[in-house]
Amino acid sequence: KRIYEVEDGRQAMDDLALQVLKNERVALKDQIAERLRKAGG
């Protein structure tokens, strides 16, 4: 949610902090995809 607020200009954040959040988002998406793949068989 914070990433979208920053990208939309509703919240200020420095580039490094934003990049950290984006990296976390990608990691979470990867984890979800892996779990779905394993659950799907």
pLDDT surpassing 90 at residue 5: no
| Total domains, the chain | 1
For the stretch 25-39, pLDDT in tens is 999 999 999 999 999
Tokens read off for 36: 């779905």
Domain hosting residue 30, numbered range: 2-40
**5: which residues sit within 8 A by CB, 6+ positions away?**
11
pLDDT surpassing 70 at residue 41: no
Query: How would DSSP label each residue in 10-41?
Result: SS---HHHHHHHHHHHHHHHHHHHHHHHHHH-
pLDDT of amino acid 38: 96
Q: Are 11 and 17 in contact (CB under 8 A)?
A: no
Tell me what the pLDDT averaged over the chain comes to: 86
Higher confidence at residue 25 or residue 41?
Answer: 25
For the stretch 11-22, pLDDT in tens is 777 888 888 988
Give the chain's end-to-end CA distance (angstroms, integer).
31
